[in-house]
């Protein structure tokens, strides 16, 4: 994928994560004001969205480790799935849209594709001779 497309996807993902974080902040405050027991869940979703925004900003300047990319992706999709269980308020549409956009944008995050080399590398010259070659 083109580098510029990845940067645009990172900016779109950043905006989606911030949009979801803003909605989660409002909704979490509403739930907390009425003494809801679900407040820790919404705080966790908010922290996942803020962490995703940080990863999207980081991806503009350097490659993101692949495990971090997939942890963020699973966290965002999981948060979006659990928000579906919440009450039907207009702010939930904002939260779902932001989390989904950010989660889909994680697929375009640039990852470090360093080829891992093993410690022991056997080339053709170093192979052991077979019995037929030894005679």
- Residue ranges of the alpha helices (H) in the chain? 3-33, 39-59, 66-83, 90-105, 131-134
Residue 35: the pLDDT is 83
Q: Domain ranges for the chain, please list them.
A: 3-111
Which among 14, 2, 44, 3 has a CA at the least distance from the CA of 106?
14
State the Cα–Cα distance between residues 108 and 12, nearest whole angstrom: 11
Beta-carbon contacts of 39 under 8 Å, excluding residues fewer than 6 positions away, are 28, 31, 32
State the Cα–Cα distance between residues 109 and 112, nearest whole angstrom: 10
Residue 103: the pLDDT is 94
Phi, psi of 118 (to 5 degrees): -80, 160
Rg for the chain, CA atoms, rounded:
23
pLDDT block averages, 10 residues each, the chain of length 135:
87 95 90 84 92 94 91 94 86 92 92 63 61 62
Residue 96: the pLDDT is 93
């Amino acid at each position: 994928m083109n580098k510029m497309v990845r940067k645009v996807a990172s900016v779109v993902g950043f905006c989606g994560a911030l949009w979801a974080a803003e909605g989660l902040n409002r909704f979490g405050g509403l739930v907390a004001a009425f003494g809801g027991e679900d407040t820790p869940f919404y705080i966790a979703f908010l922290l996942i969205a803020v962490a995703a925004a940080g990863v999207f900003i980081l991806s503009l300047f350097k490659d993101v480790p692949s495990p971090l990319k997939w942890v963020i992706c699973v966290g965002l999709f999981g948060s979006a799935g659990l928000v579906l269980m919440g009450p039907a308020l207009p702010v939930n549409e904002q939260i779902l849209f932001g989390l989904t956009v950010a989660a889909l944008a994680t697929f375009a995050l640039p990852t470090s594709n360093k080829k891992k080399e093993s410690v022991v590398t056997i080339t053709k010259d170093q192979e052991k001779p077979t019995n037929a070659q030894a005679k």
